[in-house]
Amino acid sequence: MFSEKYEETQLDMVEILLDNQPVKILPGTTILQYLQKKGQIDPGQQNPIVIMSINGRRACLHEAIHGDERVRLIRLKDKEAQTTIQRTVLFVMAAAAEDLFPNHRLRADFSYGGGVYCGLVGNEPLSVNQIRALEERMHELVAMDLPLTPQRFGLRALLKMLQRDGKHQRFTSAKYLRRDNLTLFRMNGFDQLYFGRQLPSTGFVRAFRLVPENPGFVLMTNVKMEPGKIPTYVPQSKLLTTLRQYSTWSDLQELQDTGHMNEYIVDGRTSDLVQISEARHSRFFVEAADQVAEISGESRLILLAGPSSSGKTSSAKRLMVQLRVLGLRPFALSLDNYFVDREATPLDEDGDYDYESINALKLDLFNDHLKALMAGESVKLSQYNFHTGMGSISPRATTLEKGQPLLVEGIHALNPLLTPAISDDKKLRIYVSALCHMNIDNYSYIKTTDTRLFRRIVRDAQFRGYTASETLARWPKVRLGEEKHIFPFQNHADLFFNSGLTYELAVLKLWAEPRLAAVHPDDKNYGLARSLIDLLSLLLPVDASQVPPTSLLREFIGGSGFHY
């Protein structure tokens, strides 16, 4: 009898590959259940299993298995676990805030200073004692090792529940989603509509800290791949001011989250949305041009820098147009023409040419030419042939008129090593980046780096012939270069330009979604591609015909009135 029952059970089993090993499992079983039976789920372990990858797509351990899946277990110290750790810490913070501030709404606003800037909606300040109490309550919830359990709802049922419970923001965020089912995570009576994975329980969280930053605080989670170590908080006042200004502006425009953005689109107010977003950009260029005009003396140097896909080129062109309005005739000097010969280019740690290193430029020659131009002398400028990888000198001489602005745009423009020959009182330094963060709800948001990645995916496909997979494969190295060569110097800027457009993701999705959907399940970038598609699904589309030809967004989707 026992033998017959065993054989029947075996027939019901399906096979999966678990960390490249064939394993028999009952269909419908979750990996969490399977690992619990084997005693392999324990937050007390040094490096416990926390999430998994199913056929290249990251998932929480609660997901059911049905057969033929390729499952890879991801541990707490793996770099792929970092975003999930941060998301769970935010969940714990949300629960603690509801306990301590039931009559207020706390919001995780944007990534900043190596963490997440948080504060009360409406900018009511939190005292140091309140912040300390919040952190203590979070530690209590972690010590209780409370399970984080997902529950799937049909969209209609979930909307009814949210409406009944008076959770208006979540209702607005969810009602335009084109999904049949949504996941609500629950923890000890507290629930949160989260668009992402969670750790199995609060006990897997190892380290976090709340750093007061009036009127709110910065939530610092662990260093990537070091779950017990908290990074040093490095304040960046100019960046923080710019990010806060955008938060205040978007709240005033009733564009504080994806739900309200979708309401603009559904109500037929897209034209208004485009106009006010573009007007915000135009105002910056008017003010920046006025500051250039105020630089006294015979020479004016504008240095414009920013990370990949920040819109540096379009920003430079828009600024030059505004300078012409003031009667000035700006001249643009390209750093690309000062590359060393390809064979002399420094190498990165992988042995590839590191074109993003400042030592890939002929710094001495550039400074000689810069000084001469600003002194009114005639200069035969450098030029560079990207096909041959060789530099040469232009046969034609260039001379600047007295007071003629000289604009230098590039990733190293704010690095003091680039322009030591020119005194600071002759410079206007501008930092450009897409800093339009967008909340999904009070505790989850679309990061500004995601916006730049969407821009790059679209531009690479439109103008450079790269697939989405190729762009995604290059992105980690691009981000590493930014951390090394751009971000350390952003606080040197005199002006910060937020080049993000509130409506742009709704436009970019029409280009980005099909490219991302083409990433094959066997591709190593498949999981990231699916995550990005999920983000885009939060927004309704906006027709690109409404984007004006002078818009910075045209640099990425095409149809610009500027020549690139």
What pLDDT digit, counting tens, does each position of 511-534 carry?
999 999 999 988 999 989 999 999
145 found inside a domain: yes
What's the pLDDT score for residue 2? 32
Mean pLDDT of 43-71: 93
When comparing pLDDT for 296 and 505, which is higher?
Answer: 505
State the Cα–Cα distance between residues 45 and 42, nearest whole angstrom: 6
Residues 275, 300 within the same domain: yes
What's the pLDDT score for residue 9? 55
pLDDT, tens digit, 9 for 90 and up, residues 319-348: 999 999 999 999 999 898 999 999 999 998
* Two structure tokens written together for 505: 């993701």
Residues 65, 50 within the same domain: yes
Confidence at 436, pLDDT banded by 50, 70, 90: very high
Q: Which residue has the tokens 């190593």?
A: 524
292 found inside a domain: yes
Burial string for 432-442 (b: 16+ CB within 10 Å, else e) reads: bbbbbbbbbbb
Mean pLDDT of 51-63: 93
DSSP, collapsed to helix, strand or coil, labels residue 98 as: helix
Mean pLDDT of 257-276: 95
Residues 18, 151 within the same domain: no
CATH number, domain with residue 169? 3.30.980.10
Among candidate residues 75, 102, 136, the one where a domain is terminated: 75
Confidence at 194, pLDDT banded by 50, 70, 90: low
Is residue 89 predicted with pLDDT exceeding 90? yes
Range of the domain at 514: 248-557
State the Cα–Cα distance between residues 411 and 360, nearest whole angstrom: 12
DSSP, collapsed to helix, strand or coil, labels residue 191 as: strand
Handedness of CA 221, 223, 224, 226 (dihedral sign): negative
- Residue 264: CB partners within 8 Å, gap ≥ 6? 255, 270, 272, 273
The continuous run of DSSP H or E covering 516 comes out as helix 504-517
State the Cα–Cα distance between residues 424 and 416, nearest whole angstrom: 10
What's the pLDDT score for residue 389? 94
513 found inside a domain: yes
**Cβ neighbours around 390 below 10 Å, total:** 14
Residues 279, 361 within the same domain: yes
Residues 173, 213 within the same domain: yes
What's the pLDDT score for residue 191? 86
Mean pLDDT of 428-447: 94
pTM score: 0.92
CATH number, domain with residue 256? 3.40.50.300
Residue 69's φ and ψ, nearest 5 degrees, are -75, 150
State the Cα–Cα distance between residues 330 and 376, nearest whole angstrom: 14
Residues 219, 103 within the same domain: yes
State the amino acid at position 373 in one-letter form: L
CB 210 within 8 A of CB 134: yes
243 found inside a domain: no
Is residue 1 predicted with pLDDT exceeding 60? no
* Two structure tokens written together for 400: 């600047």
How many folded domains does the chain comprise? 3
Residue 54's φ and ψ, nearest 5 degrees, are -110, 115
Residue 176's φ and ψ, nearest 5 degrees, are -100, 0
Is residue 392 predicted with pLDDT exceeding 70? yes
What's the pLDDT score for residue 6? 36
433 found inside a domain: yes
* Two structure tokens written together for 478: 């691009």
Confidence at 7, pLDDT banded by 50, 70, 90: very low
563 found inside a domain: no
242 found inside a domain: no
**β-strand 190-192 against 331-334: which pairing, if any?**
unpaired
When comparing pLDDT for 185 and 564, which is higher?
Answer: 185
pLDDT, tens digit, 9 for 90 and up, residues 130-188: 999 999 999 999 999 999 999 988 888 888 988 998 888 888 888 887 777 888 899 98
Is residue 3 predicted with pLDDT exceeding 70? no
DSSP, collapsed to helix, strand or coil, labels residue 276 as: helix
36 found inside a domain: yes
Confidence at 99, pLDDT banded by 50, 70, 90: very high
CB 560 within 8 A of CB 549: yes
State the Cα–Cα distance between residues 535 and 539, nearest whole angstrom: 8
Confidence at 8, pLDDT banded by 50, 70, 90: very low
CB 447 within 8 A of CB 111: yes
Confidence at 195, pLDDT banded by 50, 70, 90: low
